[in-house]
Amino acid sequence: MQCQELLVRGLSLGMILGGVMHFICLRKSHAAYGRYVDTSGSSMMVPARLAWFLQELPALLVPLLLMLITDGKHSTGKHLMLWTFCLHYFQRSCIYSLLTKGRPYPFNIMLLGIVFCSINGFLQAHYLLHCATYHNTWFSDACLLAGLIIFFIGMGVNIHSDHILRSLRKPGEISYKIPRGGLFEYVSGANFFGEIVQWLGYAVATWSLPTFAFAFFTICFIGPRAYHHHRFYHEKFKDFPRSRRSLIPFIF
């Protein structure tokens, strides 16, 4: 398959535009899933574990399929970065989804997630496999090394923060508590901070429009969610630490 440059550019710019629109919409409202979903409404609901599995899975399967049908010669760098991308979505679809204790998920939100993960999985995989060019000195490149370090630091923060959130609830509990420990001592959205750091690291390592577009979209989508979580804790708990920030330690 040849590189579809116009398609890659169009999808990347569309993702950036979508991020801007989401950021504007989510500044005052919030995505209707998790603690913000109205379970008494008429929307069809899906169990959280099934919803997370189905919505994240395309971002794992689409790149794997494209790798299977693509000639793998002289593509170690491309496969390294794509496997890094797949590692995150393997964790999200096959591990996180089995462990989550979240509330039922709106069916329409799950469908939108499936569409996004399918498109993004194709975009990242197609660009890396058919458009990206890496030279022999790429493995000693500072951007690659720095980006991978940042990616795995972010992934560690994300996984550890999710573990802290799950540990807040005993089996059968649905009430919310103040998360403590790890980066939650500094920000209310430690899990979101970790995921943003992940994709910023990935963008630095690959240094491409599609990956920066994805990192930008991630910031625009879950950044406001961290802010709303922070406000939720402030309103619900009188003993919430006043020095804690929303998303970025000591800053915001």
**pLDDT above 80 for 39:** no
153 — pLDDT class (breaks 50, 70, 90): very high
Q: Which residues touch 20 (CB under 8 Å, ≥6 apart)?
A: 220
pLDDT score for 245: 94
The residue-averaged pLDDT of 176-192 equals: 93
Cα three-residue angle 196-201-202, rounded to 5 degrees: 100
Q: DSSP letter string over 21-83?
A: HHHHHHTTS--SSGGG--TTSSS-EE-HHHHHHHHHTHHHHHHHHHHHTS--TT-HHHHHHHH
For residue 105, what pLDDT is reported? Answer: 87
More confident residue, 28 or 103: 103
Give me the amino acid identity at 158: N
Query: What is the C-alpha R_g of the chain?
Result: 19
Helices (DSSP H) in 168-247: which residue ranges? Answer: 190-206, 209-236
At residue 136, the pLDDT reads: 61
What is the mean predicted confidence (pLDDT) over 102-122? 93
Q: Which residue, among 16, 6, 2, has the nearest Cα to 211 in the 3D structure?
A: 16
**How does DSSP assign 155-176, residue by residue?**
HHHHHHHHHHHHHTS-TT----
Q: Which of 192, 194, 191, 186 is nearest to 249 (CA)?
A: 186
Spatial separation of the C-alpha atoms in residues 35 and 47, rounded to whole Å:
14
d(CA 44, CA 168): 27
List Cα–Cα distances, 31 to 36, 60, 125, 171, 186, in angstroms.
7, 23, 27, 26, 24
- Is 238 in contact with 184 (CB distance < 8 Å)? no
Mean pLDDT of 49-72: 92
- 196 by Cβ neighbours in 10 Å (0-12 / 13-18 / 19+) ranks as buried
How far apart CA 238 and CA 178 sit, in angstroms, is 11
∠ Cα 27 162 37 (to 5°): 45
Report residue 222 as tokens: 């879950």
What pLDDT does 133 receive?
81
pLDDT digits (tens, 9 = 90+) for 159-181: 999 999 999 887 777 778 899 99
pLDDT in the model for residue 126: 95
